[in-house]
Chain A
Amino acid sequence: MTDVGIGAPATAAAIAAPRGHGTLRRLLRHRSFLIGFTIIALLAILALLAPLIAPVDPSAMRVRFRFRPPQAAFWFGTDQFGRDIFTRVLYGTRISLFVGFAVCVVSGLCSAILGVIAAQFRRLDSAIMRLMDALMSFPAILLALGIAAALGPRVSSVIIALTVAYIPAGVRIVRAAALTVREMDYVQAAQVSGASSLRIVLRHILPNCFSPLLVHLTFIFAYAMLAEAALSFLGVGIQPPIASWGNIIAEGRDYATQAWWVMLFPGIAISLAALSLNLLGDALGDMLDPRLKGGE
């Protein structure tokens, strides 16, 4: 190629220059991020302060107040035992956010470890990935259903079941990111200059897997909350009398035509939580990792 030879670095670089330190500022200007973050933060505060906000005990049965429609005294109405639905939804928020967050953290950690191991050690790679393929052959909700059922109806079983169900997708994402980074010149250079593999993993590979994993985990948070609700609805998740959004709906279902409010409000709560997390995930995907826009 004959070059004109004008000393002209690409203009794109000049335009892109102010990007580096502006990520946080741009995030704060992103509409989806703001809406998503505000809703989920609000829900988290409500969940934390539930005992202070809630007008009554979530399990308190007051039969004389049964099936009261929403009114000043009972914002979301009452159920067949006269329990206050607003209080129960509030306490359900605690369970749902806790399960979602726990699944995020545990599956995130496991995905990071397994993904990096698969990417770093060729011998373990195919073993790990075949196992992940096998786990992925079961629909996530069915796998969680089977495991939760076997472990017994407890909060911890739900968390373990959902964690196992969502690890394979996370491992794939981390492994793909780690493999990409590993081929980068600067990592190769570090390898040649004799840096230990542990150091390379900690300094170069893990940080670069962080963005795609974070985006993925935001969506997993939403999926896990939806799945927890579904499991509790089916009766293998959180058991009554502990209130969870899923089991309030399951209990309200039988009276749905006469007391629509019992199942309406927890459903809105789940939708709102999942919606805000999906918005947050979209925004993070936009900002942190434009390549991720395509999804899987």
Chain B
Amino acid sequence: MAVPLLSIRNLTVQFRVDTGWVTAIDDVSLDVGTGDCVGVVGESGSGKSVTALSVLQLHDRVTTRMPSGSILYQGDDLLRAKGSTMRRIRGSEIAMIFQDPMSSLNPVLTVADQISETLRQHQGLTGAAARKRVIELLGLVRIPDAARRADDYPHRLSGGMRQRVMIAMAIACKPRLLIADEPTTALDVTIQAQILELLRDLRRELSMSVMLISHDLGVIAEFAQRVVVMYAGRVVEDAPVTQLFRRPVHPYTMGLIAAVPALDSDAPRLTTIAGRIPGPQEIIPGCRFSPRCALVLQGCREEPPSMQMVSDGQSARCPPRIQVLDVRHV
């Protein structure tokens, strides 16, 4: 098998709090192959955004540390890369868009300023050449009247338009990997669909790999080929999207799928998983999902489960369930 474009191996990230360090994500591994689209799903607090920010090391340096693990980009460990190497990769090899387009653009610089900055940084484009490319990019993300919009300040644009600007900025240097951290969460439903469609088209046109972070399994199902499910800082299941919906292994994944509203049913209310996700400071022995798990066994509360292969391409962190499934299939 070829080396994946991005491979996160056993990554642990810790944040500083008043009393010491707490572990935000623990032993996280996932791969994004060339041309792949991988979705990372989980509720807020699951560590999916922390994982995404780790790739480009955009965490606050003072309050964050990564004591173990590696992030391999084309085989090189980014966690051991020099600052200048990291800066060359950011925005040019790996680009990122964020959840809130309202606050992610600098309010005192024009759209053109902010996009051309990336072009200058990585391609040395300035002046008229940069401006021409900016307008081209704004057209590419389907912003009408691009030449005029280029000179606007962000507050003059709607949320959807701002996210398009963010996308234009991200694809400016034709990155090989785009990390999209909840790109549609802050937007209206109709705009969400447009932005997702734009991302899908751009991905094909530019042959980018995409890592899409979302709390919305519906969005992931539409967009991704592979899904990584995270819960309380750990990966609990990793599977191709069809496989995941056909046969979810981890009870948490089952809960997530049951909670997706089906458009064709007139079910009166959504199924929910009882309880809440534990904070990083809470100590839960054994499986971190066990307090909420409907299928919990005695052993779940004692031994922290490990990630195990279920079948080709699918693995999960729930030994009892894997055992049950095996028995049934034999």
Contacts and interface: CB of A to CB of B under 8 A. Distances in A.
* Chain A–chain B contact at Cβ < 8 A: yes
Interface of A: 1-11, 14-15
Interface of B: 43-45, 185, 189, 215-219, 255-256, 259-261, 270-282
A4 B277 contact: no
Nearest to B192: A1
A1 B182 CA distance: 12
Contacts of B276: 7-9, 11, 14
B263 to A, nearest CB: 10
Contacts of B259: 4-6
25 contacts: A1-B185, A2-B216, A2-B218, A2-B260, A2-B261, A3-B216, A4-B43, A4-B215, A4-B216, A4-B260, A5-B271, A6-B255, A6-B256, A6-B277, A7-B272, A8-B45, A8-B277, A10-B45, A11-B44, A11-B276, A11-B278, A11-B280, A14-B276, A14-B282, A15-B279
A179 B219 CA distance: 42
A8 B185 CA distance: 17
Contacts of B255: 6
B279 A11 contact: yes
B151 to A, nearest CB: 31
A1 B44 contact: no
Contact of A10 (B44, B215, B282): B44
* Majority secondary structure of chain A interface residues (helix, strand, loop or mixed): loop
Contacts of B278: 11
A4 B272 CA distance: 8
Given A6-B43, A15-B279, A1 B189 contact: yes
B273 A14 contact: no
B8 to A, nearest CB: 23
Nearest to B275: A7
Contacts of A9: 276
Contacts of B270: 3, 5
Nearest to B276: A8
Contacts of B215: 4
A81 B257 CA distance: 90
